[in-house]
Structure 1
Amino acid sequence: MVLRVRRVWDRLAVYLPLLLMGVMAMTTYWLVRNTPTMSEPELEAAPRHVPDYFMRDFSVKVFGEDGKLKSEMVGIEGRHYPDTDTLEIDQPRIRILGAEGRITTAVAARGLINADGSEAQLFDKAVVIREASTSAQGVVTPRSELQSDFLHLFANTEQVRSHLPVVLVRGAGDRFTADGMDYDNLDRLMQLTGRVRGTLQPPKDKK
Structure 2
Amino acid sequence: MIKKWSSAVLPLSIMLVLVALSAWLRYATELPDATRDGRNRHDPDAILNDVRGHRLDAAGVLLYRIEALEVRHYPDDETSEFTQPRLAFVSPAKPTVTIRADEGRATEKAKKVDLRGKVEIRRAASGRQAALLAETPELTVLTDEKRAFTSSKVLITQGPSWLQGVGMRVDHALQTYVLESDVRGEIESPFARKKKPKT
TM-score (structure 2 length as normaliser)? 0.69
Aligned partner of 2:16 in structure 1 is: none
SS of the equivalent of 1:164 reads strand
Aligned partner of 2:145 in structure 1 is: 157
Measure how far apart 1:91 and its partner are: 1.0
Question: In 2, are the aligned partners of 1:62 and 1:117 still within 8 Å (CA)?
Answer: no
User: 2:97 aligned to 101, 104, 118, which one?
Assistant: 104
Question: In 1, are the aligned partners of 2:97 and 2:172 still within 8 Å (CA)?
Answer: no
Where do 1:140-179 residues align within 5 Å? 143-170=131-158, 172-179=159-166
Measure how far apart 1:114 and its partner are: 2.5
Where do 1:1-207 residues align within 5 Å? 39-40=26-27, 42=31, 44=35, 47-98=40-91, 100-133=93-126, 143-170=131-158, 172-187=159-174, 189-204=176-191
Aligned partner of 1:25 in structure 2 is: none
Q: Which has the larger radius of gyration?
A: 1
Amino acid at match of 1:160: A
Q: Percent identity?
A: 22
SS of the equivalent of 1:49 reads coil
Amino acid at match of 2:142: F
Measure how far apart 1:155 and its partner are: 2.2
Distance 1:89 1:206, change over 3 A: same
Measure how far apart 1:84 and its partner are: 2.4
Aligned partner of 1:5 in structure 2 is: none
TM-score (structure 1 length as normaliser)? 0.67
Q: Which sits farther off after the overlay, 193-202 or 94-103?
A: 94-103
Q: Distance in 1 between matches of 2:77 and 2:23?
A: 38
Q: Distance in 1 between matches of 2:176 and 2:87?
A: 23
SS of the equivalent of 2:88 reads strand
Measure how far apart 1:123 and its partner are: 1.0
Measure how far apart 1:183 and its partner are: 2.2
More strand by share: 2
Distance 1:103 1:53, change over 3 A: same
Structure 1 gaps, min length 5: 1-32, 135-139
SS of the equivalent of 1:77 reads strand
Q: Distance in 1 between matches of 2:43 and 2:143?
A: 26
Please, what is the CA RMSD of the aligned residues? 3.2
Measure how far apart 1:176 and its partner are: 0.9
Q: Distance in 2 between matches of 1:48 and 1:144?
A: 42
Amino acid at match of 1:111: G
